[in-house]
Amino acid sequence: MVGPACPALLVAAPASGQGKTTVVAALARLHTRLGRRVRVFKCGPDFLDPQIHAVASGAACQTIDLWMCGRDDAAWRLAQAARSADLVLIEGVMGLFDGKPSAAELARNLGIPIMAVIDGAAMAASFGAIAHGLKHYRPGTPVNAAFANRVGSAYHATLLRDSLPEDIAWYGYLPRDAEAAMPERHLGLLPAAEIDGLVRRIDRMADHLASTPAADLPPAVPFPEAKSPTVARSLEGVTVAVARDAAFCFIYPANVECLEALGARLVHFSPLADAALPTCDAVWLPGGYPELHAETLAANRPLWRALARHVDAGKPLLAECGGMMALFEQLVDGNGIEHQGGGLLPGRTTMQKRLVRLGLQEVELPEGVLRGHSFHFSSADSPFVPLCSTRNADGRPGEAVYRRQRLTASYMHLYFPSNPQAVAALLTA
């Protein structure tokens, strides 16, 4: 059934590092400044790019993924946005055909046209060849437009534009601009709150686009009609304390919405700054960067004692990735310095020089099956016997899941809407 129609683009690329996030942020900012209501989505698991898009568009950036979130979830969120937006933008994941499911599969499944972002810095006519290849590599891939990033001059842009085949439109370009570049570290771009002059950088990129075809709205796309999910209010009357600060900042907006739909009352606290735990029935320690704040976290013994009392009282604590790292007895940072951890789990976590695990995950807990993902540069060493292990999307063994009373901890980031009732059970004493 055909649902609401809205101008939309899925912004993809031939590989990571081509500038998708930069281009999407610039597009979102430009159209927002033109008085349009822009809604941005991120294809595939990611916490950092959506923070930048939220700043650029002035609205939360949701995650959609055919496997982790499911087609129904993605279709519903897109249709909901299309009803009120003037423009829907979706940033792809990795290269257009990378991953299972890929951004190309999402675009074909939901009928969304693709704009290919290609780094044109060291090419001319090859730009057209790459765009042609992206469109025709697999039949039915809706690559309708191309955009050039890191262009050297207006003449260079003309060479790139003229190389495109007739069935791929030129959407414009961004020049090389060191002052607008986004800083990175081991997990990718910096969190939005840590990027110096982020709004200025995004505005500078939007200024570059103002006189290009990117200032025009793309054609309207009819989105598939999708039913709103029905969630039983299983957490009615339950207060969930959510850690939220520079050390614990990896939170899907959909997870917060899911808890609220379940009836939970959310209160926030900062393990970096608060010595006391808010009055609550359950605690959620999401992922983030505890390794960058290990000294401050180690010094906050009153909070860790409060969390230990919380667990000893039989109350739930859900710890994901960085949240779990902080709970071990020791945390070794990227410089090899050992810090005292929360002490709620035996063992230590140690930062590594290379990525340890990246991928979609599924876990079968006593409370139910949940989906999510892992992405971490640390390893955990614990004598504690895991409750179970997660599975990668292809069925290979994944992450250890630890449980002590009602404490559940793993490197896996859960996508709560994949099974709201399992989340409710996790957070119930």
Same domain, 419 and 394: yes
| Burial class, 183, CB count within 10 angstroms (exposed 0-12 / middle 13-18 / buried 19+) | exposed
- Full DSSP string of 41-108: EEESS-SHHHHHHHHHHSSPPEEE-IIIIIHHHHHHHHHHHHTT-SEEEEE--SSTT-SSS-HHHHHH
Of all residues in the chain, the percent with pLDDT exceeding 90 is 86
Residue 195, token pair as written in the block: 């990027």
Question: What pLDDT, on a 0 to 100 scale, did the predictor assign at position 124?
Answer: 95
Looking at 172, 201, 224, the residue that finishes a domain is 224
Question: 406: closest CA among 334, 308, 330, 335?
Answer: 308
pLDDT tens-digit series, residues 313-346: 999 999 999 999 999 999 999 999 999 999 999 9
Band (180; pLDDT cuts 50, 70, 90)? low
How many Cβ atoms sit within 10 Å of the Cβ of residue 259?
Answer: 23
The 10s digit of each residue's pLDDT in 28-67 is: 999 999 999 999 999 998 888 899 999 999 999 999 999 9
User: Is 321 tagged catalytic?
Assistant: yes
Provide the CB-side half-sphere exposure for 98 (13 A, CA). Answer: 13
Query: What are the φ/ψ torsions at residue 73 (nearest 5 degrees)?
Result: -65, -45
Alpha helices in 234-393 (DSSP H): 253-261, 294-299, 301-312, 322-325
Query: How crowded is residue 197: how many other Cβ atoms within 10 Å of its Cβ?
Result: 11
Distances (CA, A) of 301 to 274, 291, 297, 329: 10, 17, 8, 12
Asked if residue 292 and residue 181 are part of one domain, the reply reads no
Q: How far apart are CA 164 and CA 159, in angstroms?
A: 9
Q: How far is CA 328 from the centre of its chain?
A: 25
pLDDT: which is higher, 197 or 310: 310
pLDDT for res 191: 81
Band (pLDDT 50/70/90 cuts) for residue 177 is confident
Q: What is the pLDDT of residue 196?
A: 82
For residues 218 and 277, state if they share a domain. Answer: no
Q: Is residue 232 part of a domain?
A: no
Both 149 and 251 in one domain: the answer is no
State how far the Cα of 357 lies from the Cα of 15, in Å rounded to an integer.
Answer: 19
- The CATH number of whichever domain residue 410 belongs to comes to 3.40.50.880
User: Closest Cα partner for 308 from 405, 383, 380, 386?
Assistant: 405
In this structure, are 145 and 97 located in the same domain?
yes
Number of structural domains in the chain:
2
Single out the residue of 411, 359, 401 nearest to residue 98, CA to CA.
359
Residue 295 sits at φ, ψ, to 5 deg, of: -65, -45
Looking at the fold, whether 105 and 220 belong to one and the same domain comes out as yes
Based on the domain organization, do 48 and 112 belong to the same domain? yes
Per annotation, catalytic residue among 6, 249, 258, 321: 321
Do both 150 and 275 map to the same domain? Answer: no
- Please state which of the ranges 23-32, 73-82, 170-179, 264-273 shows the lowest mean pLDDT: 170-179
- pTM attached to this predicted model: 0.93
Per residue in 119-132, pLDDT (tens digit) is 999 999 999 999 99
Asked if 138 and 97 touch (Cβ cutoff 8 Å), the reply is yes
pLDDT the model gives residue 197: 84
Does some domain include residue 219?
A: yes
**Amino acid 176: pLDDT:** 87
pLDDT of residue 190: 76
**Which of 164, 190, 224 is the last residue in one of the domains?**
224
Is 231 within the bounds of a domain? no
pLDDT(2) > 90: no
Boundary residue ending a domain (199, 224, 249): 224
The mean pLDDT value of the chain amounts to: 94
Q: Which two tokens stand for residue 133?
A: 């290849």
Reply yes or no on whether the pLDDT at 187 is more than 70.
Answer: no
Q: Which residues pair with 407 in a beta bridge?
A: 317, 404
pLDDT-derived band at 156 (thresholds 50, 70, 90) equals: very high
The pLDDT score that the predictor gives to residue 192 is 78
**Does some domain include residue 400?**
yes
Domain shared by 199 and 301, yes or no: no
Residue 1 has pLDDT above 70, yes or no: no
